[in-house]
Amino acid sequence: MEEKRIGVYVCWCGTNIAMMVDVKDVSKEMEKLPGVVLAKNYKYMCSDPGQDMIIKDIKKYNLDRIVVAACSPRIHEITFRNALENAGLNPYMLQMANISEQDSWVHTDRIEATRKAKSLVAAAIRRVIHHKPLKKRIVNVHPNTLIIGGGVAGMSAALELSEAGKKSFLIEKSDQLGGTAAKLKLSFPYLNDVVNDISNLIKRVEKSEHIQVILNAEVQEIHGFIGNFNGIVKTTDEKEYSIEFGNTIVATGLKSFDAGKLKNYGYWKYSEVITSIEFELLVKQGVVVNKKGIVPENIAIIHCAGSRNENYNNYCSRTCCMSALKYANQLRNLLPDANIFEMYADMRTFGRGCEELYTSTSRKGIMFLMFDQRAELPLIKEDERGNGVVIEFKELLSGEEIQVPADLVILMVGMEAHENAKSVSHLSGISMDSNGFFIEKHPKLDPVATTTDGVYVVGSCQAPKDIPDSVSQAKAAVARILATILRGTVEVEVTTAEINADICCGCQFCISVCPYGANSFDAANDVSVVNEVLCKGCGTCATACPSGAISTKHFTDEQILSQIEGLMAKVHELEELETN
Amino acid sequence: MGGLTMNTRVNPDFEKELQKYGKGNWNECFHCGNCTAICPLSEDGFLFPRNSIRTLQMGLEKKLETSIEPWLCYYCGDCSETCPRDANPGELMMALRRYLTTRYDWTGLSKKFYTSAVWEYAAIAIIALLVIVSFLVFLPLRPDAALMVNESGGVMINSLVAGVSPDRFVTLIEYGDWLMAVIVGGLLITNIFNMYYKTIIADKTVKIPLSAYFKEFWQLIYNFVTQASFSKCEKRSYWLGHLLLMTGYTIMFIIVVVFLPYFQIEEVVPVWHWQRLLGYYATFGILFFLGIVIFQRLRKNPITMKFSHASDWIFIIMLALTTLTGIILHIFRLAGMVEATYYTYIIHLAVLVPMIVIEVPFSKWSHLAYRPFAIYFSKLKLATLKEKSVRKLAPAIS
Amino acid sequence: MSKDPTIVAFLCNWCSYTGADLAGTSRMKYNSNIRVIRVMCSGRIGPTFVLKAFREGADGVLICGCHPGDCHYHEGNYKCLRRFHLLQKYVSQLGMDKDRIRLEWISASEGKEFAELVNNFSNKIKEIGKSKVRKTMEEWT
Amino acid sequence: MNSSSENGNEFHQKVHPDTLVIGAGIAGIQASLEIANAGYKVYLVEKSGTIGGHMAMFDKTFPTLDCAACILTPKMVEVGQHSRIDLLTCSEVTEVNGYPGAFKVKIHKKARFVDQQLCIGCGSCAAKCPGKAPSEFDSGTALRKAIYIPFPQAVPNKYLIDPESCLYMQTDGKKCGVCVKFCPVNDCIDLHAMDEELNIEVGNIVIATGFKIFDAKKVARFGYGKFPNVLTSLELERLINAGGPTEGKITFRTKDKKGNWVFKPDGGAPDSVAIIHCVGSRDENCNAYCSKVCCMYSLKLAHLVKEKLPATAVYEYFIDMRAFGKGYEEFYQRIKKEGVHMIRGKTAKIEEIKGSLKLRSEDILNNRIIEQLADMVILAVGLEPSDGVKQLSEMIGVEIDANGWYKELDSLLDPVGTARQGVTIAGVCQGPKDIPDTVAQASAAAARVLQSIESLKEVEFI
């Protein structure tokens, strides 16, 4: 075995790591390990000078393997792989040791954390010895895009693509485009009539030659990988479409919170109580009446219905405060003499022009009352003194127990993830958070991509959002997609399974465990073969293989077993040091 | 959970009602708490102005009616200047003082005067007319008035009236004074009792021990004389100006009501005589203050002078007229201009009397009494509150 | 400190490793005796890895994957579950406490759950005591 | 490039494939990378000496608390190394002519005085340089030399000279010049370098000029600039940052030997810190709008203070807690549980009493006045459009609103386009925004650019 020349780099991450891990000690210790040519530590390895240092060292010391002990590989593996590539080294000759997220940030004892860092880095060093150069695979990108969801986000994405001359399939579950936005009369904060805007948008989408709208349809299956997806779409009348596409945009939107769950508000009990969705419908028709058909004199708008409360949804639905102010303005115009009460928790009017709307609304004789949305919610009950209901609660800004009479109560219901989010997440291989919203690749710097390359999440299916933010996200996804289409090709992961035909006994066990049908049987040679295009590199087959003929590139048994050795060797070495 | 009857019902119409007593964008307040925190007079137990704004916005009339807070405010304007929403909390306190004055007044006249300028003008006109008529008819100018000049050339003011001896004339005017004082005082005292009832007796949450009434009594006198609370405001010049006005006015009031026979005398006393010095001090104090206030109200700056209620102008004009006629009267008298002195005297009284009768029990001047009483009452309440609650140094986690 | 048991954890890349990272970015604190090895899918984790960990002196092995139905590769976690049951039996037969190995589902959003799991499992292993596998093996060879 | 056929008032022309991006904060960086990665050339113009903008100054980002530098610096490196991004630092756009699809842009490139190719970043020059000025990157919490690298991870990672604080330039060459003497590379430093004018032609312009923070001195009753331990949130951000002047320690502002107020690692730590929300925001006397990010960054700072100094009491004085985004409300609840005192009621004034700061506020929900003594007060300052927005908007022909934020074409359906064709806006210059929204918007702006280059090929206008 030829001599390995390993370079080890330990990152301080400012004080993020250095505060809890003695990085200097770690690098000093690593220098002693076999194969290690040099071990250095530096304030920010990921910075320009940090990467430069690695590149220079590779060239100067002829390093052939690099270990970077820094943050999670999920964040910077790509960064350092690029650095290796720049230095002329195969990018897969890198192994990272996660000493921040899984060490310095979660432990409180500096000695222990340092010890743990040493064993993690030692394991990485042992592992990297077995790394092999892998060749990147470049695939062509299909120029079409699948967009799931025909709301504002989906339509905006489709149009943006269409304007760039790129085709998309716009799949909508219901029988019309427009989603939630199509139900609105006015937008906030400028209270513009949006009915025309949205219908124009729909018209543009329908007219576009580059957009194929499929209504009453759901995606049944998606296969493939970035640039090369194919899927099946089925409509309610059993029509089936088989489509090919290079990228997927998930824009399935939201569903509103079920107001019936709020036990204090008596949504099913009182004909005075309606939801914001129902109110939008009323106001679109221009007639505001309660379910008894009576024009209300006292109207209460209750914020945070189903939001910011542990018994319902813990999160904030982001748009309800502004919608509630919009309603107050609409009501004031329709019913100039009505008493309007806004019952809020925190007034979250944060967007541009929103605080200004709050101010101008407060000039319109609207009574703002604050309640505690985390403690006892307001209680709606029959009014003994009048016809309607009365809302009882402790008003926080005055500390008074008060009663608000109402003959119309509008519950500002929050946003929830769609029921079918789970099936969509399955289809497209993206994850959901505990609230059922899709998880983006990175909450800051990659708010629309997902961990699955070529699949993007936009709009309210990612988290509650207003229209402009949804549109922004939709277009952001388009930027990413256009870039891949324009380049025409994209690099894909090469960490697929590999079958050593010499060892394979032809039991075909691997074929039955593969969820992608990537393995097939070559009857002529009596062995299994892997289709690298279909294989996603999960490694299940490698583990299942009774003869050890299958290995997963970059996650070989050898690599993992030596990683375990390294991990434990350091533990014991230190333990023995201590006992002696 | 409180029962149905425990909870108070909100009243959205009340805010419109209060707009009659002063103008402000009170509904715009979003309750940041800046005004209360910036006010040096606001303290635990008596937090304002934000609390009052909230009560107003919610239309909790009962709670407002029983609150002392508006009287504790001297309207330095800091709250309004720094209000992030231009909601004008200071002006609300002003409006509330007007409103409370009408609530304390059992005759209902105050409400008429505050909510209708016409009523106030009419009342002033009637009283003025009564004064003028009673002079022209019952106390007409002596036919040989020209002789009524003393050796120093000054008009002998008490001898101007036909058929009435100088001594009797002074006594007549003094009786008039007393009558006025009794009516005005009576009304004021009953109103103060009304205030006491609403703020202390009706408040079942505090039980004030009798000893506290004696222990805190000095507060009443002390605050009346010194306006000490006002001096805690950051703008001390406001306090000085106000003190100048208040002392000037009070001095004149006491002289006229209590010491008239020593004041309204035939001979012209030397310049350094106490009565002339006091008179000049009062005149100067009032004029100085009036000058500034008129200038500021016209400019609508500072913020405290931005909004002028009709009652403000009426008060300023009446006080100005009283002072000016007083000065002119003084000049005419020294110059020996007999007829001019007589008619100016009538005009002087025709302004002074309605001003006192209307302003003191029903309108702006009543705060002269309400303020020190409010402070006194607040101290009574605080004395009981402090025994009850222990203040925590650090705020609790919410 | 050397008395503290050592735990080797195998985490799947998509859910559990992300969840463990989340515990880190959220600065949730947990026991420092855990050493993580990242694999792409819990379906990749075979008995070899687990036994190797014990052979090298681990006192406990923790396996985490996506919640049922959430697997990035559709069903790798089910495969893992099946293997785990067998493995548990096998471990018992070897004379080890079967609680030394544990399989849990940790999603990408469950940083807090991960931290709690580590503490919990670590306490359990402490209860069971240090593993003698490594020593025995060394004596044998 | 007017290959246009004029007929009547209408003419068509090809869209120039190059793009100008103004401002190299995270918005500009993101937009540039998106466009460049799609294969088109980008001119990225940045006023200061480095890219990165405000995000590079932050320590952690809310609500996930990942370290800002960790996620930003790789992007910065990528920009610096990208073959299709022409990075122009110390530069400003001075003239914009031409038409959508073919803008002719004049760029004033100020001299950096240090050769970008030759500088090896050894730092010998700065070690000897006598000139000092408050560091812009450290928000004035520390001093930097006249010849300096803005921060260790700056891109480009080369020295530059600030003529304002350079002794040689201030004395017209009569004094100093020591940097040239100590520079180990020949002809690297040229103290007589001249500014340059650059003329470029681009098809699209992306405006991403970001923001500046509200000047806290304008609210005199908080005593910023008078009391040394009243800080802006950005100053605390620098203190907490490991790369900051105190190596991540939260310390008091102290006087150095020359009488400058600076922060040093050994400045002593506060036992109590109060954070005041909405300074310069939601206030008719300053800016009436909400700055959107202050509530969240205040919660983040509270957490970081608690993390660094667990025994320190932290108080937040707020009006409405605007925790609206993904995971924000949960973060708010978490910070509450960490023992940060939340008080609904904005502080009205701050006085200094025996070196301690006294804040007077109303604790609205508990119906009382709080006179709080704190060792350190943080003012959560709002955001304002950056300087020069007006000139730039006139130059390019894009409208700004009354507050100085750029106006988008359609507040509902087109959040990145402007009334001027070929010009898009991204990030905070359009209105306060958090990082995810900024990044999404920047990508959206890039989509618009790509789409116009790719599909239209020709612009049609009247």
HSE-CB at A396 with a 13 A cutoff on CA atoms is: 27
Residue A233: how many CB atoms within 10 A of its CB?
Answer: 21
Kindly report the nearest CA distance between residue D443 and chain C, in angstroms. Answer: 25
Nearest to C58 by CA among C11, C96, C14: C96
Same domain, A132 and A163: no
Q: Which residue among A120, A540, A544 sits closest to C73, beta carbon to beta carbon?
A: A540
What is the tally of structural domains in chain A? 3
Kindly report the nearest CA distance between residue A350 and chain D, in angstroms. Answer: 5
Which chain B residues have a beta carbon less than 8 Å from that of D283?
Answer: 84-85
CA distance A177 to A206: 9
SS3 B142: coil
Cβ D307–C27 below 8 Å, yes or no? yes
Which chain A residues have a beta carbon less than 8 Å from that of D367?
Answer: 399
Pairing mode, strands A217-225 and A228-235: antiparallel
Kindly report the nearest CA distance between residue D296 and chain C, in angstroms. Answer: 15
Same domain, A269 and A402: yes
Identify the contact set of chain B against chain D, taking CB-CB distances under 8 A.
30-38, 42-44, 47, 50-51, 82-86, 391, 394-398
HSE-CB at A528 with a 13 A cutoff on CA atoms is: 31
**pLDDT of chain A, 580 residues: tens digit per residue:** 467 899 999 999 888 899 899 999 999 999 999 999 999 999 888 888 899 999 999 999 999 999 999 999 988 888 899 999 999 999 999 999 999 999 999 999 999 999 999 999 999 999 999 999 998 888 999 999 999 999 999 999 999 999 999 999 999 999 999 999 999 999 999 999 999 999 999 999 999 999 999 999 999 999 888 999 999 999 999 999 999 999 999 999 999 999 999 999 999 999 999 999 999 999 999 899 999 999 999 999 999 999 999 999 999 999 999 999 999 999 999 999 999 999 999 999 999 999 999 999 999 999 999 999 998 899 999 998 878 999 999 999 999 999 999 999 999 999 999 888 888 988 888 888 889 999 998 888 889 999 888 999 999 999 999 999 999 999 999 999 999 999 999 988 788 999 999 999 999 999 999 888 889 999 999 999 998 877 888 999 999 999 999 999 999 999 999 999 999 887 677 666 666 5
Cβ A452–C72 below 8 Å, yes or no? yes
Residue D145 sits at φ, ψ, to 5 deg, of -80, 170
Examine residue A571 and state whether it is found in any structural domain, yes or no: no
Chain B contact present for D218, CB below 8 A: no
Kindly report the nearest CA distance between residue A565 and chain C, in angstroms. Answer: 6
Q: What is the predicted ipTM?
A: 0.89
Q: What integer pLDDT is reported at residue A387 of this predicted model?
A: 81
**Residue spans per domain, chain D:** 11-110+196-210+386-461, 124-182, 215-383
Kindly report the nearest CA distance between residue A255 and chain D, in angstroms. Answer: 16
Same domain, A263 and A409: yes
Find the residue in D nearest to C23 (Cα): D64
The Cα angle at residue A221 between residues A218 and A223, in degrees rounded to 5:
140
First to last CA, chain A: 34
Give me the residues of A, 129-148, that contact D with CB < 8 A.
Answer: none
Which chain A residues have a beta carbon less than 8 Å from that of B2?
Answer: 392, 401
Spatial neighbors of D188 by CB under 8 A, at least 6 apart, are D114, D115, D118, D119
CA distance A258 to A270: 15
Q: What integer pLDDT is reported at residue A16 of this predicted model?
A: 84
**pLDDT of chain D, 462 residues: tens digit per residue:** 344 444 444 445 678 999 999 999 999 999 999 999 999 999 999 999 999 999 999 988 999 887 787 778 878 988 998 999 999 999 999 999 998 889 999 999 999 999 988 887 788 899 999 999 999 999 999 999 999 999 878 889 889 999 999 999 999 989 899 999 999 888 999 999 999 999 999 999 999 999 999 999 999 999 999 999 999 999 999 999 877 899 889 999 999 888 899 999 999 999 999 999 999 999 999 999 999 999 999 999 999 999 999 999 999 999 999 999 999 999 999 999 999 999 999 999 999 998 899 999 999 999 999 999 999 999 999 999 999 999 999 999 999 999 999 999 998 999 999 999 999 999 999 999 999 999 999 999 999 999 999 875 545 443
Find the residue in D nearest to A153 (Cα): D413
First to last CA, chain C: 28
Domains and CATH numbers, chain C: 7-140 (3.40.50)
Spatial neighbors of A563 by CB under 8 A, at least 6 apart, are A123, A124, A126, A127, C37
Chain C contact present for A421, CB below 8 A: no
Spatial neighbors of D399 by CB under 8 A, at least 6 apart, are D393, D406, D407, D418, D419
Cβ contact C61:C54 at 8 Å: yes
Per-residue tokens: D250: 């939260």
Cβ contact A270:A380 at 8 Å: yes
Q: What integer pLDDT is reported at residue C39 of this predicted model?
A: 94
Find the residue in A nearest to C12 (Cα): A538
Cβ contact D452:D417 at 8 Å: no
Chain A contact present for B85, CB below 8 A: yes
Chain C contact present for D64, CB below 8 A: yes
3-state secondary structure A266-329: CCCCCCCEEEHHHHHHHHHHCCCCCCCCCCCCEEEEEEEECCCCCCCCCCCCCCHHHHHHHHHH
Chain B contact present for D345, CB below 8 A: yes
Same domain, A245 and A307: no
Find the residue in D nearest to A195 (Cα): D412
Give me the residues of A, 464-503, that contact C with CB < 8 A.
Answer: 495
Looking at the DSSP bridge assignments, the partners of residue A449 are: A456
Distances in Å between the alpha carbon of D385 and those of D45, D408, D444? 17, 15, 21
The enclosing H or E element of A508 equals none
Same domain, A292 and A407: yes
Cite the DSSP H helix spans in D241-323. Answer: 294-308
**Residue spans per domain, chain B:** 14-104, 109-384
CA distance A490 to A481: 11
Cβ A543–C15 below 8 Å, yes or no? no
Give the neighbor-by-neighbor strand order of the sheet with A6-11: A36-42, A6-11, A65-70, A94-98
Cβ contact A104:A120 at 8 Å: no
Which chain B residues have a beta carbon less than 8 Å from that of D343?
Answer: 395, 398
Residue D93 sits at φ, ψ, to 5 deg, of -80, 130
Neighbours of chain D (3+ CB pairs under 8 A): A, B, C
Examine residue A521 and state whether it is found in any structural domain, yes or no: no
Chain B contact present for A297, CB below 8 A: no
Distances in Å between the alpha carbon of B134 and those of A542, B148, B170, B353? 120, 21, 15, 13
Chain A contact present for B177, CB below 8 A: no
Burial of D73 (0-12, 13-18, 19+ CB in 10 A): buried
Cβ C44–A552 below 8 Å, yes or no? yes
Q: Which residue among A368, A384, A405 sits closest to B4, beta carbon to beta carbon?
A: A384
The Cα angle at residue B261 between residues B256 and B262, in degrees rounded to 5:
85
pLDDT digits 0-9 by tens, A481-492 = 999 999 999 988
Cβ A192–D440 below 8 Å, yes or no? no
Which chain B residues have a beta carbon less than 8 Å from that of A397?
Answer: 31, 54
Same domain, A275 and A360: yes
Q: What is the third-level CATH fold of D11-110+196-210+386-461?
A: FAD/NAD(P)-binding domain (3.50.50)
Cβ D315–B395 below 8 Å, yes or no? yes
Per-residue tokens: D415: 């959040």
Which chain B residues have a beta carbon less than 8 Å from that of D313?
Answer: 394
CA distance D251 to D119: 35
Cβ contact A194:A283 at 8 Å: no
Which of these three, A113, A136, A159, is where a domain ends?
A136
Same fold, D11-110+196-210+386-461 and D215-383: yes
Are D and A neighbours with ≥3 CB pairs closer than 8 A? yes
Which chain D residues have a beta carbon less than 8 Å from that of C26?
Answer: 64-65
The enclosing H or E element of B56 equals helix B50-58
pLDDT digits 0-9 by tens, A18-32 = 989 999 999 999 999
The CATH number linked to A191 is 3.50.50.60
Examine residue A378 and state whether it is found in any structural domain, yes or no: yes
Give the CATH number of domain D215-383: 3.50.50.60
Same domain, A291 and A412: yes
Neighbours of chain C (3+ CB pairs under 8 A): A, D
Cβ A400–B51 below 8 Å, yes or no? no
Q: What integer pLDDT is reported at residue B2 of this predicted model?
A: 37
Which chain D residues have a beta carbon less than 8 Å from that of B86?
Answer: 284
Low-confidence ranges of chain B (pLDDT < 50): 1-5, 389-398
**Token pair 């002119």: residue:** B328
Q: Which candidate in A94, A102, A107 is best for mutational testing of the C interface (most C CBs within 10 A)?
A: A102
Give the CATH number of domain B14-104: 1.10.1060.10
Examine residue A213 and state whether it is found in any structural domain, yes or no: yes
Residue D20 sits at φ, ψ, to 5 deg, of -105, 125
Distances in Å between the alpha carbon of B42 and those of B25, B216, D371? 21, 19, 12
Which chain C residues have a beta carbon less than 8 Å from that of A72?
Answer: 17, 21, 24
Residue A270 sits at φ, ψ, to 5 deg, of -105, 130
Kindly report the nearest CA distance between residue B34 and chain D, in angstroms. Answer: 5
SS3 B55: helix
pLDDT digits 0-9 by tens, D19-59 = 999 999 999 999 999 999 999 999 999 999 999 999 999 98
Are C and B neighbours with ≥3 CB pairs closer than 8 A? no
Neighbours of chain B (3+ CB pairs under 8 A): A, D
Cβ B7–A358 below 8 Å, yes or no? no
Q: What integer pLDDT is reported at residue D456 of this predicted model?
A: 57
CA distance A262 to A312: 8
Same domain, A325 and A401: yes
The enclosing H or E element of D320 equals none
Domain span at A425: 145-253+418-490
Q: Which residue among C6, C40, C48 sits closest to A538, beta carbon to beta carbon?
A: C40
**Token pair 């604190």: residue:** C29
Burial of A240 (0-12, 13-18, 19+ CB in 10 A): exposed
CA distance D370 to B37: 8
Which chain A residues have a beta carbon less than 8 Å from that of D30?
Answer: 445
